Amino acid sequence: METIVATGTWMYDGVAPTTVRVVMLDYDFWHALGEAEDDLDVDESPELNADGRLYYVRHRPGWPDGERTFWPDSQGFDTLEEAVAAAESAVPGPIRWQ
């Protein structure tokens, strides 16, 4: 299940407000994709934190409000703090968190 745990806005090209979200998943997105595409090594397993979750960042345009399709722009992070820091370093300006 996906849960949006942080939302903010940054200015794309300095003029277009763009939403950034941190999403918590109870599965390893990239592992699940590899599994669905039958593209995993025999010994690969999901890499989840101690709570069985990972946090992913979406900072690029293209995920409209109300749309349930999520595709991350990042690796999975063990903590919300790590994901927020990754989001802030991925965009060329400050993020205004709500």
Q: Are 58 and 24 in contact (CB under 8 A)?
A: no
Per-residue pLDDT averaged across 4-18, rounded? Answer: 92
For range 11-31, the mean pLDDT: 93
Domain ranges of the chain: 2-97
Q: What is the mean pLDDT of residues 22-46?
A: 93
Q: What number is the average pLDDT over the span 15-44?
A: 92
- The whole-number pLDDT of residue 66 equals 62
Residue 61: predicted pLDDT? 72
With vertex at residue 2, the alpha carbon angle to CA 29 and CA 31, rounded to the nearest 5 degrees, is: 10
> How far apart, in whole angstroms, are the C-alpha atoms of residue 1 and residue 23?
10
What does the alpha-carbon distance between residue 89 and residue 87 come to, in Å, rounded to a whole number? Answer: 5
Tens digits of residue pLDDT in 36-67:
998 888 889 999 999 999 999 998 776 666 66
* Per-residue model confidence (pLDDT) at position 75: 96
